[in-house]
Amino acid sequence: MSLLIKNGHIITASDDYSADIYIEGSQIHTIGKNLELPADEIIDAGGHIVFPGGVDPHVHLDMPFMGTFSSDDYSSGTLAALHGGTTTVVDFILQTQGKSLHDALKDWRNRSDGNCFGDYSFHMAVTDFNENTQKEIVQMIEDEGITSFKTFMAYKGALMIDDGQMVGLMKEVKERGGMVTVHATNGDMIDSLVAKHREEGKLSPLYHYLSQPEITEAEASGRFCDMADYTGVPGYIVHLTCEGALNATRRAGKRNQKVFVETCIQYLILDASLYEKDFEGAKWVMSPPLRQKKDQEALWAGLNQGLVQVVGTDHCPFRWEQKLMGKDDFSKIPNGHPAIEHRMELLYSEGVNKGRISANKFVEVTSTNPARIFGMHPKKGCIAAGSDADLVIFDPNEEHAISVDTHHMNVDYSAYEGWPVKGKCKHVILRGRHAIDNGKVNIEKGFGQFIKRTKASKVI
Ligand code: URP
Ligand code: ZN
Ligand code: ZN
């Protein structure tokens, strides 16, 4: 199969030019002006921009969490991602405390393999670091292509590890060439605030927010950076939300550490006033919670200064009946919100079209940087001969509004209902297949491939 994309305006993390793209099979073959090559299909991209397919490095599909499962499975989640221009996602395997990493891998593969529309990979969350787990790290990296290890400094009793385990894991991962990623919030501080609010009968979603003040994230982010410095391991802070936490990472920069920072689309554009809507605020109960306008400003600036390298989603959707589990107690509301489909369009609309970031920065933080940091570049994250033909043909001017009535995620509300968006993904190409054509799906479940990743010591 061959595909020729004519007259597009190509935008990458570094370039901005007009050219045609010729795709043979699953890869980009030639990029050039006025290509006259015979092709099975020709797409006229005139008036549109063409950028690399998005890489969302932070999603939770079909994940057991807080007594339920996130409501998008690998099929609905990766398809919704494709509709929104994200061609590759990196999901999280969670080790069960007391069990092995291999047990968890098997479990996750049973749910994901053969069910994805888009390409996918895994981070491994280590929730129980011990001498057996230690032996599995090298196997995950060398045999399975799982090169990043997620840690939680919160969710005590389920996912959290203590600092002794953290340092042990970091040393092993450093030795084996991998990376340690972190949910950096101070679990003990948060748990004591949750207990205090519950005792006082303060049970609405607002108290989820008030139980996780900025200091809980700033402190843990700084502590993570210090432990990464001590052990020399490359680190990555997921879903960083606030000015205080961002400031804590500056020290790591001064020490020339390899610590990368991800924020998520919601922290750039939504704020904590949404928790004042009584139980409707449950739609935005996530951890860390939404913050203040001053934090949004710090994050936008952080993107432009290169302090924040990635914008993900932390897509962890729950249907309304699942959110109702916490109707009488905020601490029982499953944490997470749906966004996998909207990251690219929202960031383009709010970032590029509103003049906050350049189009090159948009590509850098949604595709090229996550692909590089997590060892998928240049297969993913760029437009170059020999790279996977993962492309988005995008109308930067089309105006539309986000709604539960039109989204493809398995959630019965939208966290962005009515949000006006300027810019739309018209065509999405995945490994040379015209996967989405103006909303029409042309690939089948199972087309998505598992991506084995290169280890951090070779790429960053
Ligand atoms: O609220 C969130 N973020 N839910 C998903 C789990 C996590 O902490 O990333
Ligand atoms: Zn988290
Ligand atoms: Zn997450």
Q: pLDDT tens for residues 130-183?
A: 999 999 999 999 999 999 999 999 999 999 999 999 999 999 999 999 999 999
- pLDDT, mean of residues 200-206: 98
Cα 417 to Cα 404: distance, rounded to the nearest angstrom: 7
Of 239, 262, 330, the one to substitute when testing ligand 1's pocket (max ligand atoms within 8 A of C-beta) is 239
Please give the structure tokens belonging to residue 412.
Answer: 């019965």
> What's the pLDDT score for residue 261?
98
> What's the pLDDT score for residue 411?
98
Q: What average pLDDT does the structure give for the chain?
A: 98
Please answer whether residues 132 and 97 qualify as being in contact, where contact means their C-beta atoms are separated by less than 8 angstroms: no
Of 90, 313, 335, the one to substitute when testing ligand 1's pocket (max ligand atoms within 8 A of C-beta) is 335
pTM for the whole thing? 0.98
Cα 295 to Cα 301: distance, rounded to the nearest angstrom: 10
Please give the structure tokens belonging to residue 449.
Answer: 């491939």
Dmax (CA) for the chain in angstroms is 72
Residue nearest (by alpha carbon) to ligand 1 atom 7: 287
Of 72, 285, 287, the one to substitute when testing ligand 1's pocket (max ligand atoms within 8 A of C-beta) is 287
> What's the pLDDT score for residue 120?
99
Question: Could you give the domains of the chain?
Answer: 2-51+383-405+420-441 (2.30.40.10), 52-382+452-459 (3.20.20.140)
Cα 5 to Cα 37: distance, rounded to the nearest angstrom: 11
Residue nearest (by alpha carbon) to ligand 1 atom 8: 287
Ligand index nearest the alpha carbon of residue 284: 1
Tell whether ligand 1 has an atom less than 6 A from the beta carbon of residue 369.
Answer: no
Tell whether ligand 1 has an atom less than 6 A from the beta carbon of residue 315.
Answer: no
- Positions of E strands within 204-288: 235-237, 259-264
Cα 118 to Cα 87: distance, rounded to the nearest angstrom: 5
> What's the pLDDT score for residue 417?
98
Residue nearest (by alpha carbon) to ligand 1 atom 4: 336
50-106 tens-digit pLDDT:
999 999 999 999 999 999 999 999 999 999 999 999 999 999 999 999 999 999 999
Q: What's the gap in Å between 214 CA and the centre of ligand 2?
A: 15
Sort strands 440-441 and 433-437 into parallel, antiparallel or unpaired.
Answer: antiparallel
- pLDDT, mean of residues 270-282: 97
**Residue 331 CB neighbour total at 10 angstroms:** 17
343, 346, 349, 352: CA torsion to nearest 10:
-40
Percent of the chain, pLDDT > 70?
100
Rounded (5°) CA angle 224-230-231: 90
User: What's the one-letter identity of residue 268?
Assistant: L
323-362 tens-digit pLDDT:
999 999 999 999 999 999 999 999 999 999 999 999 999 9
Ligand index nearest the alpha carbon of residue 289: 1
Tell whether ligand 1 has an atom less than 6 A from the beta carbon of residue 333.
Answer: no
- pLDDT, mean of residues 201-220: 98
> What's the pLDDT score for residue 457?
96
Cα 242 to Cα 205: distance, rounded to the nearest angstrom: 19
- pLDDT, mean of residues 190-205: 98
